[in-house]
Amino acid sequence: MVDGTLSTVEPEFRLDLMGVVVFYQTMSITNLSETSIYSWEFLIANIGGSLGLLLGASLITFVEIGEFIADFIIKMCRRRKI
């Protein structure tokens, strides 16, 4: 089937062949491109900022817990002295 016709195909193979006609209404091509919203630097900066915020919040929490325990101990000592 070099020339696109069945005449060049052996007779025993003619029953096994099928033709497909493809029709395109337009010959336009659509190009799709993907771009990332975050760059690697921006992503790492956001993660670092969030971790810094959480670390700062947890540090403040530990200081407040320490202050609460110190105030509690001071109040308990004052009650016993009176």
The distance from CA 26 to its chain's CA centroid, rounded to whole angstroms, is 36
pLDDT digits (tens, 9 = 90+) for 14-73: 667 777 888 888 888 888 998 888 888 998 999 998 988 888 878 888 889 999 999 999
Short-list 32, 33, 50, 30, CA closest to 42: 50
Read off the pLDDT of residues 13-29 as tens digits, 9 standing for 90 and up: 666 777 788 888 888 88
